[in-house]
Structure 1
Amino acid sequence: MKSLNRFFGAIVALAALALATNATAQEAKHYRFAYDQPKITGYGILGDIFAEKLKALSKGTMLIDQYPGAQLGQEPQVLQLVKSGDIDFCISSSANAATLSPQAGVMSLHFLFRSEGHLIKSIADPKVSEAVKAMIADTVQGARVIALATLGLRNMYSKREIRKIEDIKGLKVRVQATPTEDTMFPAYGAQIVHMPFGSVYTSLQTGVVDVAENGVNVYLANKHYEVAPVLSMTEHEANNSLVWVSDKLWNSLNPEQQGWVQAAADEVNKNQPAKAIELEHQSQDKLKAIGVKVVTDVDKSGFTAVADPYLDKLAKELGPHADKVKTLIRAIN
């Protein structure tokens, strides 16, 4: 009889364990996290930091499924899908964020960031992050920003060298569709062309545009060097990003879960910028090794002479949130 009782006891224990395991599996939820760059870019670094921290904090109950390389659409479309609640999380450039909140264009002001070191400190600064979150909360419905990130500084690339401002006069430059870009490049004497990022390679190849501009790793990862083999380190603008969550998802989470999501986002804010800059340096070394011409001695004085008067003017025109963000960033040493 005792052995029979032990047998039934073991059966009950196994059943209880199975039920507990099943309950844990049911509690684990998967969330879609979309971005338009390949996983090997700073966006992948961001996605991994966020996913790993959220998994740890939630004890495996909140799991991130990453969709890189525009699998779920280009950034402007994905932003709309996050707003509608059809995608849970996404990364967008600050320039594409400006399609929802024009004041986000402040992050794209030319020569706002004095150096890579200044950029890292600025994006990781909690006050800057909170000011951008407040800007989005006040101007966008359906989605919220939970973190800032960067892919480094943007540079121009073409079939020719850009060593000084005179070298881009009259050239067709693919720019992001923001008021800041639409103001600055014509001020330098260039012609602007808007197009989705996915069209840049072919447009450079066919001559629809003469010049494009982006971060070093983005240029490498998307093989734009094949059609524009000269990278000129103009460092005219930061390649900043915002991490979004849909209000539909956010409002469905309990306070503890919201805390986990924000803590994972804070981890991104703190650690991603320096890792992204490191990736930029590694990417430049790889480009040189495969024969890409990297022009490091660009004379920026002509660009900055044109851009400096616009910093305060454009920030004020964009709005009070933008002006506050600009002031906070400029004050960081």
Structure 2
Amino acid sequence: MKLVTTSLAALVVASGAAQACEITLRSSDTHPEGYPTVVAVEAMGEMLEERSDGRICVEVFHSAQLGEEKDTIEQTQLGVIDLNRVSLGPFNNIIEETKVFSLPYIFRSTDHMHAVVDGEVGADILAEFSNHDLVGLAYFDGGSRSFYNSKKPITSVADIEGLKFRVMQSDVFVDMVDALGGNATPLPYGEVYSSIQTGVIDGAENNWPSFESSGHYEVAGYYTLDQHLIVPEVLVMSKTKMESLSAEDQALIRQAAKDAVPVMRDLWAKREKASEEKVRAAGVEIVDDIDKTPFIDAMDVVYEKHVTSDKLKDLVTRIRAVE
């Protein structure tokens, strides 16, 4: 209740700037101002404002101002938050079908991921959000996630043995680290820096922009590009809020979200390159010629445990068949 009250207070503060709009959609993001996902939702808001003749605006609360992702998902389901850009990982324990996008090495490349989420499989999984008081609007890029730590360079599966890694609050991610011999520790994103710094954990796993923008590279000097996950992120809307709007406004929102995707992808590609350059210049030791085969082989137990229903097995088959 305290978190919801705090979030409501934060929403009220910003409401003055959007008073000219008939409808102000309040959007949450855990990433900082200027991050590609944040800018993309801001661009969506600009499109909406223009296409609605100033009736619909979007107010973006970046830097986890409204809470960490797990909490903001609940607030969006309750209708306290209107829009929410969230990693798919925290949805894995809520919406079964999202698990397939979080399976290690399910995507062969970023291009393969784009082809999947832009096609029928992506649409089918977005549709599942409606069963959980949410509306799935669009997929954003989350980059390739790789391991980083403060202890040593990881050049093989054996090097992960015994290391404590922060993971998102997802059973799939926990089991992935366990399968590699590490110790998985679910933690909120905002606690990772201090936890590495104080030795509570040895490291975490994430993409170039998150590794850089969070400052984690300052406390974790070893980054191994095993690229075990290419997990898309998702923009969702409160189902209650969506259904309160006219059919015309709903269509405007859906189209603006779709049109924000290429904006985000372009920003993401540029940000990835800039973040990599900054991290390398800071002296972080990068392992980029690793043999992924042993890592992929170790994931058999993860698939056996989590891909159990016929629906999930079918989704995995369909994803692998996409060219």
> Residue 125 of structure 2 aligns to a residue in which SS?
helix
**Which residue identity does 1:224 align to in structure 2?**
H
Consecutive unaligned residues of structure 2, counting only runs of 5 or more, are 1-18
Counterparts of 2:57 and 2:21 in 1: how far apart (Å)?
Answer: 11
1:278 offset after TM fit, Å? Answer: 3.5
Please report the RMSD computed on the Cα atoms of aligned residues, expressed in angstroms.
2.0
* Contact 2:172–2:306 under 8 Å retained in 1: no
1:178 offset after TM fit, Å? Answer: 1.4
Counterparts of 2:245 and 2:100 in 1: how far apart (Å)?
Answer: 31
* Contact 1:104–1:322 under 8 Å retained in 2: no
1:66 offset after TM fit, Å? Answer: 0.6
1:328 offset after TM fit, Å? Answer: 3.3
Counterparts of 1:331 and 1:57 in 2: how far apart (Å)?
Answer: 38
Counterparts of 1:256 and 1:314 in 2: how far apart (Å)?
Answer: 43
- Show the counterpart of 2:120: 127
Identity %: 27
- Show the counterpart of 1:272: 264
- Show the counterpart of 1:234: 226
Q: Report matched runs for 1:147-158 at 5 Å.
A: 147-158=138-149
Matched, 1:94 2:88: yes
**Which residue identity does 2:125 align to in structure 1?**
V
- Show the counterpart of 1:103: 97
The alpha-carbon distance between structure 1 residues 51 and 61, as it changes in their structure 2 partners (threshold 3 A), is same
The alpha-carbon distance between structure 1 residues 103 and 77, as it changes in their structure 2 partners (threshold 3 A), is same
The alpha-carbon distance between structure 1 residues 27 and 191, as it changes in their structure 2 partners (threshold 3 A), is closer
Q: Which of these residues, 239, 242, 255, is aligned with residue 250 of structure 1?
A: 242
1:121 offset after TM fit, Å? Answer: 3.0
Which of structures 1 and 2 has the bigger CA Rg?
1
1:274 offset after TM fit, Å? Answer: 4.8
Counterparts of 1:208 and 1:63 in 2: how far apart (Å)?
Answer: 42
Counterparts of 2:302 and 2:264 in 1: how far apart (Å)?
Answer: 29
**Which residue identity does 1:299 align to in structure 2?**
D
The alpha-carbon distance between structure 1 residues 273 and 330, as it changes in their structure 2 partners (threshold 3 A), is farther
1:38 offset after TM fit, Å? Answer: 1.0
Counterparts of 1:63 and 1:121 in 2: how far apart (Å)?
Answer: 30
Counterparts of 1:271 and 1:126 in 2: how far apart (Å)?
Answer: 18
* Contact 1:135–1:321 under 8 Å retained in 2: no
Counterparts of 1:26 and 1:269 in 2: how far apart (Å)?
Answer: 27
1:226 offset after TM fit, Å? Answer: 1.0
1:27 offset after TM fit, Å? Answer: 5.1
> Residue 44 of structure 1 aligns to a residue in which SS?
helix
- Show the counterpart of 1:61: 55
What TM-score do the two structures reach when normalised by structure 2?
0.87
Counterparts of 1:163 and 1:66 in 2: how far apart (Å)?
Answer: 40
Deviations 1:2-33, CA, capped at 9 Å, x for gaps: xxxxxxxxxxxxxxxxxxxxxxx755322110
1:224 offset after TM fit, Å? Answer: 0.5
Q: Which of these residues, 280, 297, 300, is aligned with residue 292 of structure 2?
A: 300
Consecutive unaligned residues of structure 1, counting only runs of 5 or more, are 1-24
Counterparts of 2:288 and 2:217 in 1: how far apart (Å)?
Answer: 16
Counterparts of 1:321 and 1:270 in 2: how far apart (Å)?
Answer: 30
> Residue 90 of structure 2 aligns to a residue in which SS?
helix
